[in-house]
Amino acid sequence: MPHRPLLLRVALGGAAALVLVVAGANAVVLLGGRGTTADPARAPRAQAALVLGAGLNPDGTPSKMLADRVRAAAALYRDGRVDKVLASGDHGRPGYDEVNAMRDMLLRLGVPERDVFTDHAGFATLDSVVRARKVFNVHSAVIVTQGFHLPRALWLARRAGLDAHGLAADGSYGRRGRTAALREVLARTKAVEDEVVGARPKYLGPRIDIAGDGRASLG
């Protein structure tokens, strides 16, 4: 019984320390991840639009979040803001292929095959931005995702050596959007942790230069 006040103080101290860590990590990412527009025509010129995966519907088509990202990337291309589009997502198991779902939609929206590159090992934001730099030789990119995700994506991209800006592809996502935004608080903390420990993508592989033909990246 006499130990309860001490245990309570330790628990409260631990909780306060955790809050400080999470708040500090979020501040670092939010401050370092600025540079976003919601208008494709106002985005800076860049080598490529980097579209990050966001899940599929049961029928294998892009989720609403992902479809919004793809449409925004196609608008960047049509407006002449980027020369190429790099679709980066999860294609790590049979029957689940974010990347070709994005590619198919980009082609339907008028982006030529030669200008659509596919990264089949973009399993996480860190993987996508590091692979964009190291595998696809991208130096400058407009990263296309939802606004809540952009600070982390931009912070990680800049840490990976990309000259990166963001295009927010925001829509109405209901509960899924609110849940994703809340999870992002912890994801930003994990991003800082990954940077501290030197986390790297699961796969790299041979170089496929973004200046070439996107059909070289088909898989």
In this prediction the pTM is 0.88
Q: Is the pLDDT of residue 213 over 90?
A: yes
The CATH label, of 3.90.245.10, 3.40.50.620, 3.40.50.300, 3.30.70.260, for the domain at 4-217 is 3.40.50.620
Provide the pLDDT for residue 2: 46
Where exactly are the structural domains of the chain?
A: 4-217
d(CA 50, CA 7): 49
Nearest to 149 by CA among 90, 209, 191, 196: 191
d(CA 219, CA 204): 15
166: β partners: 36, 143
Task: Give the tens place of pLDDT for each residue, 46-58.
Answer: 999 999 999 999 9
Q: Is the dihedral of CA 98, 100, 101, 107 positive or negative?
A: positive
Task: Give the tens place of pLDDT for each residue, 134-178.
Answer: 999 999 999 999 999 999 999 999 999 999 999 999 888 888 888
Task: Give the tens place of pLDDT for each residue, 94-120.
Answer: 889 999 999 999 999 999 999 999 999
CB 186 within 8 A of CB 22: yes
Strand arrangement of the beta sheet that strand 36-37 belongs to: 36-37, 163-168, 140-145, 46-52, 82-88, 116-119
Rounded CA Rg of the chain: 19
d(CA 183, CA 163): 26
Q: Comparing 26-40, 73-87, 119-133, 199-213, which segment has the lowest mean pLDDT?
A: 26-40
The three-point CA angle 186-192-197 to 5° equals: 125
d(CA 70, CA 62): 9
Q: Is the pLDDT of residue 87 over 80?
A: yes
Provide the pLDDT for residue 15: 56
Nearest to 76 by CA among 42, 40, 105: 40
What's 36's DSSP letter? E
Q: Is the pLDDT of residue 1 over 50?
A: no
Helices then strands (H, E): number in the chain?
A: 6, 6
The confidence band for 5, taking pLDDT boundaries of 50, 70 and 90, is confident
